[in-house]
C-alpha cells in the first residue's frame, strides 16, 4: 500500500512538472533543436576535424569581437595542432611584457604559454566599437547558457532577415529566433562560405555553425573526454564492487532470513 | 572479537585508552541493532559518508582557490582547467552538496514516516534539525565562493532579507556585508565561515550519534527493543548492509559527477559576477527552492510587511520542526499502524515537492491559468497547517492498528507468511 502511494505521488508530481508551464516564455527565445553532437553521450569525444575547422571559424570571424580569455595558446595542442603550429599562431599576436632591465614595458610576440589575446583592451573599448553592446567572452559560453551547445547552434543559424509582422526592431538590432527577447545586437556573424575550409568541407551556414560550436564546447569543457573516459572506468569498478558487496550481504544475512 | 581483545598489544592500548571497545560498542558487534531495519535506515550513514567526502574535497579546493572578487572566478576556472584532476575534485564537491541534501531530506522524511522523532529520541531529532540549519548556511556560503552571477545575486537577495528586521535591519545587513554592498569583505568572511561550519556540522553529527546510541535506532515497526531476541549485532549485519547501500549511492553520485556534472547547477553561475547586471531570474540552488517559495508566498499582513512575513515564515518552516516531538501526541510511532497519518504523510511529501516547483518559477508565471503566487500560497498554508494542526489532531483522533507484541514476533510471522520487508 505504501509503495503504491509512493509511486502514485511520484507520478502525480511528474505529471505536474512534465506538463508545459505557460509562464512568461515570451521573454525567452524558442527552444533550440537538439543536434547530434560528437561529444554527446557517455562515450562522446570531440570530432578533431570539427574542432580545427571551428577554431578557424573562431579566429577568422568571432575573434574580431569576442575574447577567449580563459584559454592559452598551448591549449590548442589538444585539438590536434602541433606545438610548432601553436607557436606560429601565438607569434601572430603581440602582448605587453616587462618591465625590462631599464624598467620599461615592451611589446613582444605571444608565446604558447600566453593567454589568448583579447580583441579589445577593456570593456569600454569593446562597447565603443560595437554600438554600445558588449560582445561576451566565449570561454564558457556553452556552459553559461540554458540549452548549451544546442542553443549556440540555434543562435548562430536562427537569424531572420525580417522580423515577424507586428514586431518593431530598434535601430541596430537584429531578429533572432533563439535569443532571449529575440532582439540581438550582434549582426548575423556567419553565412554560407563565411570561411574557406582547407580540408574541402563545404562551408554551409549549418556546417560552420556546428564547427564553431564544437570548438567552443571544447573551450568550455576541455576536460570532457578525459572525464567521460574515467567515468566509464569508475562506473564499471563501482558496478563490480557493489555486486560483490550485495553477494556478501546476502551471504551474511542468510541465517537471519 | 574476543580473540581480538586478547591480543597483548590491543590489551595494552585498551587498558590506557579503551578505543577498541568504544568502536566495537559504536559500530561493531557490541552494538545491538533492531533486526528489522529496512533500506530507508541507510541514509544516515550515507549522509555521513558524503560529509567526509565534502570535507576532503573541500580542503583540496581551498588549496587552489583565491578568495578575492578579482580572482575568485578565475581561480575556480584554473582549478577546472590547469590543476591536475581539479575538475574531478570540484565536480565531486559541487554534486556532493546536492547529494548531501537529497540524502538528508530522505533521512528526515524517513524519521517523519516512522515516527523516529518521538520519545525518547526528541533530542536526536532536534540535533538533526540543527545539522540541517548548519548545512544550509554552509551550502549558501559555499555557493557564493565561485563568484558567478548567481553567487553574487543569491548572496545579495538572501543577505538583504535581514533588512526586514524592524529598526536595526539595515545596520545588520551592512554589518553582515562588511560594507555597503556584497563585495570583497563579504566574500572573505563567507569563505572563512564556509571552512569553519563543516567542522561544526561534524561536531553536531557526533552528538547526533551519541544520542542515537543511548536508545539505539528506531525501526519500521516503531516498537521498543524488548530483549536480545529483537536485535542483531551492528557488525557484520549492518556494516555490510550500509556498505552495499554506499555502493549503490556512489553509482548514482558518480554518474552525475562524470556524465552530468552541471545537472543541478545554474548556467548563469558560469558568468562572472557583475553588480551592474541583474539576471532575469534569480533562483537559489534547488535544495532551497521550497523555502524560497515560502519566502515569496506571504502577503502584507496588517503591520507586518510581506518581506518580514516571508522571512519569518521561511525560518519558521524549519524551526517548527523542532516542536514536532510535542505536536505529535500519538504513542504509536510507525505510520504502518497509523492509516490516516500514513495517507497524510504522502500529501505532505507532495506538498513539499510542489513548493520546490513553485520556488523554481517566477511568482508572476501562470500554470493552466493559476498564478504561481497562489499555488505557492496554498501549498505554504498547507505546509504549516499540516505540522501545526493536522499532525496534532490526527495524533489525538486517529484509531491506530494493533501493534505486534515484539520485533522478533513480527519478523518471525513475516518470515512464515513469506512476506519479508
With bands split at pLDDT 50, 70 and 90, how would you rate the model's confidence at B416? low
The residues in B 73-102 lying below 8 A from A, measured between CB atoms, are 74, 77, 80-81, 87-88, 91
Write the pLDDT tens digit of every residue in A133-186.
Answer: 999 999 999 999 999 999 999 999 999 998 998 888 998 899 999 999 999 999
d(CA B106, CA A158): 44
Least confident of A2-16, A23-37, B407-421: A2-16
Average pLDDT of chain A is 91
Which residue in the list B68, B213, B215, B235 is annotated as catalytic? B213
Q: What is the pLDDT of residue A18?
A: 45
Residue A27: what pLDDT?
Answer: 63
Residues of A in contact with B366 (CB under 8 A): 22-23
- Residue A115 CA, chain-centre distance (Å), reads 18
Q: Active site residue: B93, B194, B241, B307, which one?
A: B241
**Which B residues in the span 372-391 are in contact with A, Cβ-Cβ below 8 Å?**
372
Give the active site residue among B266, B268, B285, B351: B285
CB contact under 8 A, B346 and A21: no
Give the DSSP letter string of A165-230. Answer: TT--PPTT-EEESSSTTSEESS-----TTSS--TT-----HHHHHHHHHHHHHHHH-TTHHHHHHH
- Residue range of the domain that includes A61: 38-71+116-241
Spatial separation of the C-alpha atoms in residues B255 and A228, rounded to whole Å: 10
Which of the residues B39, B46, B88, B343 would you substitute to probe the A interface, choosing the one with the greatest number of A C-beta atoms within 10 Å?
A: B88
- Eight-state DSSP code of residue B304: B
**What is the per-residue pLDDT across B339-371, written as a single tens digit (0 to 9) for each?**
999 999 999 999 999 999 999 999 889 999 999
* CA nearest to A230, candidates A241, A238, A220: A238
The H or E element that residue B367 is part of is: strand B366-367
CA angle B3, B7, B11 (to 5 degrees): 115
A193 lies in a domain?
Answer: yes
What's the rounded Cα separation, in Å, for the pair A37 and A42?
Answer: 12
CB B13 within 8 A of CB B19: yes
Active site residue B386: no
Asked whether the predicted pLDDT for residue B419 surpasses 80, the reply is: no
B258-274 per-position pLDDT tens digit? 999 999 999 999 999 99
Q: What does the pLDDT look like over A91-112, one tens digit per residue?
A: 999 999 999 999 999 999 999 9
**A192 to chain B nearest CA, in Å?**
30
Bridge partners of B231, per DSSP, are B34
- Other C-beta atoms within 10 Å of B281: how many? 17
The domains of chain B, with CATH numbers, are 33-416 (1.20.810.10)
Q: Do A223 and B271 touch (CB under 8 A)?
A: no
Task: Judge whether residue A17 has pLDDT over 70.
Answer: no
Instruction: Please indicate if any CB of chain A lies within 8 Å of the CB of B53.
Output: no
Name the average pLDDT for chain B. 95
Task: Please check whether residue A215 lies inside any domain of the structure.
Answer: yes
Write the DSSP assignment of chain A as a string of letters: -HHHHHHHHHHHHHHHHHSPP-SSGGGS-PPPPPP--TT-STT----HHHHHHHHHHHHHTGGGT---TT-BGGGGGGGT--HHHHHHHHHTSEEEE---TTS--EEEE--TTSBPPPSSSSHHHHHHHTTT--PPP-TTHHHHSTTHHHHHHHHHH-EESSPPTT--PPTT-EEESSSTTSEESS-----TTSS--TT-----HHHHHHHHHHHHHHHH-TTHHHHHHHHHHHHHHHHHHHHHHHHHHHHHHGGG-
**Residue A141 in contact with residue A120, Cβ under 8 Å?**
no
Residues of chain A positioned with their CB less than 8 A from the CB of B356: none
Chain A contacts in chain B segment 149-208 (CB below 8 A): none
Rounded mean pLDDT, A196-220: 97
Q: Please indicate if any CB of chain A lies within 8 Å of the CB of B418.
A: no
Mean per-residue pLDDT, A219-233: 98
CA-to-CA separations, B231 to A61, B238, B332, B402, in angstroms, rounded: 72, 11, 20, 22
Asked whether the beta carbons of A119 and A54 are under 8 A apart, the reply is no
Q: Is B80 within 8 Å of A223 when comparing Cβ atoms?
A: yes
**pLDDT for B239:** 97
Identify the three-state secondary structure at position B17.
Answer: coil
Please list every residue in chain A whose beta carbon sits closer than 8 Å to the beta carbon of residue B248. 242
Q: What is each CA distance from B72 to B64, B76, B79, in whole angstroms? A: 10, 6, 11
Chain A: closest CA distance from residue B267 (Å): 4
Q: Which of B81, B247, B350 sits opposite A12 (nearest CB)?
A: B350
Question: Tell me: the pLDDT tens digits for B52-63?
Answer: 999 999 999 999
E strand spans, B264-324 = none
Interval A194-221 mean pLDDT:
97
Lateral strand order in the sheet of A174-176: A159-160, A174-176, A183-184
Cα distances (angstroms) measured from residue A21 to each of B123, B283, B371? 42, 17, 11
In this prediction, residue A13 carries a pLDDT of: 47
Residue A257 has pLDDT above 90, yes or no: no
B240 with A70: Cβ contact below 8 A: no
Q: Which of B237, B362, B364 sits opposite A253 (nearest CB)?
A: B237
B210 has a chain A CB within 8 A of its CB: no
Which of A146, A231, A245 is closest, CB to CB, to B247?
Answer: A245
Confirm whether B213 is a catalytic residue: yes
* Residue B37, helix vs strand vs coil: coil
Q: Say what the pLDDT of residue A171 is.
A: 87
Which pLDDT value is given to residue A25? 44
Q: In Å, how far is B387's CA from the nearest CA of chain A? A: 19
Q: Which residues from A are below 8 Å from B343, CB to CB?
A: 5
Split at pLDDT 50, 70, 90, the class of A28 is confident
Catalytic pick among B45, B208, B230, B242? B242
Q: List the end-to-end C-alpha distance of chain B, in Å, as a whole number.
A: 30
Question: Cα Rg for chain B, rounded, in angstroms?
Answer: 24
% chain B with pLDDT above 90: 93
Distance from the A59 Cα atom to the nearest Cα atom in chain B, whole angstroms: 21
Confidence of residue A29 (pLDDT cuts 50, 70, 90): confident
Query: What percentage of chain A exceeds 70 in pLDDT?
Result: 89
Whether residue B267 and residue A144 make contact (CB cut-off 8 A), yes or no, is yes
The answer to whether the CB atoms of A227 and B88 lie below 8 A apart is yes
Say what the pLDDT of residue A93 is.
Answer: 97
3-class state of residue B67 by DSSP: coil
Three-state secondary-structure class, residue B366: strand
Integer distance in angstroms from the first to the last C-alpha of chain A?
A: 23
Q: Note whether residue A51 is domain-resident.
A: yes
Picking from B35, B247, B357, the nearest residue to A242 by CB comes out as: B247
Contact B219/A at CB under 8 A: no
Tell me the nearest-neighbour CA distance from B146 into chain A, angstroms: 14
Does residue A93 form part of some domain? no
- Give the CATH number for residue A155: 1.10.760.10
Beta partners for residue A174, in sequence order: A184
Q: What is the pLDDT of residue B146?
A: 98
**Cβ pair A257:B259 closer than 8 A:** no
Does a structural domain hold residue A2? no
Chain B nearest CA to A24, separation (Å): 6
Q: Total domain count for chain A? A: 1
User: Does residue B217 have an active-site annotation?
Assistant: yes
With contact defined as beta carbons under 8 Å apart, do B92 and B57 qualify? Answer: yes
Q: Is B346–A180 a contact, with Cβ atoms under 8 angstroms apart?
A: no
Is B254–A235 a contact, with Cβ atoms under 8 angstroms apart? yes
Does the beta-carbon distance from B247 to A12 stay under 8 Å?
Answer: no
B183 is catalytic: no
Burial of A107 from C-beta contacts in 10 A (0-12 / 13-18 / 19+)? exposed
Q: Kindly state whether residue A135 falls inside one of the protein's structural domains.
A: yes
Which three three-digit cell numbers place residue B279?
A: 539576471
Q: How confident is the model at residue B68 (pLDDT cuts 50, 70, 90)?
A: very high
CA B75 to chain centre: 29
Provide mean pLDDT across the span B78-101.
98
- Provide, for chain B, the percentages of residues in helix, strand and coil under a 3-state DSSP scheme, each rounded to the nearest 5: 70, 5, 25
Report, as an integer, the average pLDDT of B186-206. 98
B258 touches chain A (CB under 8 A): yes
- Per-residue confidence at B413, pLDDT binned at 50, 70, 90? confident
pLDDT tens for B280-293 read 889 999 999 999 99
- Of the pLDDT bands very low, low, confident and very high (cuts 50, 70, 90), residue B302 is confident
d(CA A197, CA A218): 20
Looking at the DSSP bridge assignments, the partners of residue A7 are: none
What the block records as the C-alpha cell of A212 is 564553431
Contacts of B243 in chain A (CB under 8 A): 245, 249
A13 within a domain of the structure (yes/no): no
What does the alpha-carbon distance between residue A207 and residue A205 come to, in Å, rounded to a whole number? Answer: 5
Tell me the pLDDT band of B242, cut-offs 50, 70 and 90: very high
pLDDT tier for residue A26 given thresholds of 50, 70 and 90:
very low
Q: Which residues contact B63 (CB under 8 A, 6 or more apart)?
A: none
User: What pLDDT shows up at residue B17?
Assistant: 97
Residue B370 belongs to what H/E stretch? strand B370-371
| A231 in a structural domain | yes
User: Higher model confidence: residue A22 or residue A236?
Assistant: A236
Name the residue among B77, B243, B267 with its Cβ closest to that of A245.
B243
Amino acid at each position: 500500500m505504501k509503495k503504491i502511494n509512493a509511486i502514485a505521488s511520484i507520478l502525480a508530481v511528474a505529471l505536474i512538472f512534465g506538463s508545459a508551464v505557460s509562464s512568461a516564455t515570451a521573454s525567452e527565445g524558442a527552444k533550440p533543436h537538439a543536434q547530434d553532437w560528437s561529444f554527446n553521450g557517455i562515450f562522446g569525444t570531440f570530432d578533431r576535424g570539427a574542432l580545427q575547422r571551428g577554431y578557424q571559424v573562431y579566429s577568422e570571424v568571432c575573434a574580431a569581437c569576442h575574447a577567449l580569455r580563459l584559454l592559452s595558446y598551448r591549449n590548442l595542442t589538444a585539438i590536434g595542432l602541433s606545438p610548432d603550429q601553436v607557436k606560429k599562431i601565438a607569434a601572430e599576436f603581440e602582448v605587453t611584457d616587462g618591465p625590462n632591465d631599464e624598467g620599461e614595458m615592451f611589446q613582444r610576440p605571444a608565446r604558447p604559454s600566453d593567454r589568448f589575446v583579447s580583441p579589445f583592451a577593456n570593456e569600454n573599448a569593446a562597447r565603443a566599437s560595437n554600438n554600445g553592446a558588449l560582445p561576451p567572452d566565449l570561454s564558457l559560453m556553452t556552459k553559461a547558457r540554458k540549452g548549451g551547445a544546442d542553443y549556440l547552434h540555434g543562435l548562430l543559424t536562427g537569424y531572420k532577415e525580417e522580423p515577424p509582422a507586428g514586431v518593431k526592431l530598434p535601430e541596430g538590432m537584429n531578429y533572432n529566433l533563439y535569443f532571449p527577447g529575440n532582439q540581438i545586437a550582434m549582426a548575423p556573424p556567419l553565412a554560407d562560405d563565411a570561411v574557406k575550409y582547407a580540408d574541402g568541407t563545404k562551408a554551409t551556414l549549418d556546417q560552420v555553425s556546428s564547427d564553431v560550436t564544437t570548438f567552443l564546447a571544447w573551450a568550455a569543457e576541455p576536460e570532457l573526454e578525459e572525464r567521460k573516459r574515467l567515468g566509464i572506468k569508475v562506473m564499471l569498478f563501482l558496478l563490480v564492487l557493489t555486486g560483490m558487496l550485495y553477494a556478501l550481504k546476502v551471504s551474511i544475512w542468510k541465517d537471519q532470513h | 572479537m574476543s580473540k581480538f581483545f586478547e591480543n597483548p598489544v590491543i590489551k595494552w592500548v585498551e587498558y590506557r585508552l579503551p578505543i577498541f571497545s568504544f568502536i566495537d560498542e559504536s559500530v561493531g558487534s557490541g552494538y545491538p541493532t533492531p533486526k528489522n531495519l529496512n533500506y530507508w535506515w541507510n541514509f544516515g550513514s550515507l549522509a555521513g559518508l558524503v560529509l567526509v567526502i565534502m570535507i576532503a574535497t573541500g580542503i583540496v579546493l581551498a588549496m587552489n582557490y583565491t578568495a578575492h572578487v578579482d580572482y575568485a572566478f578565475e581561480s575556480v576556472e584554473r582549478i577546472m582547467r590547469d590543476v591536475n584532476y581539479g575538475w574531478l575534485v570540484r565536480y565531486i564537491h559541487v554534486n556532493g552538496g546536492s547529494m548531501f541534501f537529497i540524502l538528508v531530506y530522505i533521512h528526515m522524511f524517513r524519521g517523519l514516516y516512522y515516527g523516529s522523532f518521538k520519545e525518547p529520541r526528541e533530542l536526536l531529532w532536534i540535533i538533526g534539525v540543527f545539522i540541517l540549519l548548519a548545512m544550509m548556511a554552509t551550502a549558501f556560503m559555499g555557493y557564493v565562493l565561485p563568484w558567478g552571477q548567481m553567487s553574487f545575486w543569491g548572496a545579495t537577495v538572501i543577505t538583504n532579507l535581514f533588512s526586514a528586521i524592524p529598526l536595526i535591519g539595515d545596520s545588520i545587513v551592512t554589518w553582515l556585508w562588511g560594507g555597503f554592498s556584497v563585495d570583497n569583505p563579504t566574500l572573505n568572511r563567507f569563505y572563512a565561515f564556509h571552512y569553519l561550519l563543516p567542522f561544526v556540522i561534524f561536531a553536531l553529527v557526533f552528538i547526533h550519534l551519541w544520542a542515537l546510541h543511548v536508545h539505539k535506532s528506531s525501526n519500521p515497526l516503531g516498537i521498543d527493543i524488548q530483549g536480545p531476541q529483537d536485535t542483531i549485532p551492528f557488525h557484520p549485519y549492518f556494516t555490510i548492509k550500509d556498505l552495499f547501500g554506499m555502493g549503490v549511492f556512489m553509482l548514482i553520485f558518480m554518474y552525475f559527477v562524470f556524465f552530468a556534472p552541471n545537472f543541478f547547477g545554474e548556467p548563469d553561475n558560469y558568468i562572472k559576477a557583475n553588480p551592474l547586471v541583474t539576471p532575469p531570474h534569480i533562483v537559489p540552488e534547488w535544495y532551497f527552492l521550497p523555502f524560497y517559495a515560502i519566502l515569496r508566498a506571504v502577503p502584507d499582513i496588517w503591520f507586518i510587511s510581506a518581506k518580514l512575513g516571508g522571512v519569518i515564515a521561511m525560518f519558521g518552516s524549519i524551526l517548527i520542526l523542532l516542536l514536532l516531538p510535542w505536536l505529535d501526541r500519538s504513542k504509536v510511532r510507525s505510520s504502518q499502524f497509523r492509516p490516516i497519518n500514513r495517507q497524510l504523510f504522502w500529501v505532505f511529501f507532495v506538498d513539499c515537492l510542489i513548493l520546490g516547483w513553485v520556488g523554481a518559477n517566477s511568482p508572476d508565471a501562470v500554470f493552466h491559468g493559476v498564478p504561481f503566487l497562489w499555488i505557492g500560497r496554498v501549498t505554504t498554508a498547507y505546509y504549516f497547517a499540516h505540522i501545526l494542526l493536522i499532525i496534532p489532531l490526527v495524533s489525538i483522533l486517529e484509531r491506530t492498528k494493533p501493534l505486534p507484541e515484539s520485533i522478533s514476533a513480527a519478523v518471525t510471522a513475516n518470515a512464515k507468511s513469506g512476506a519479508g520487508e
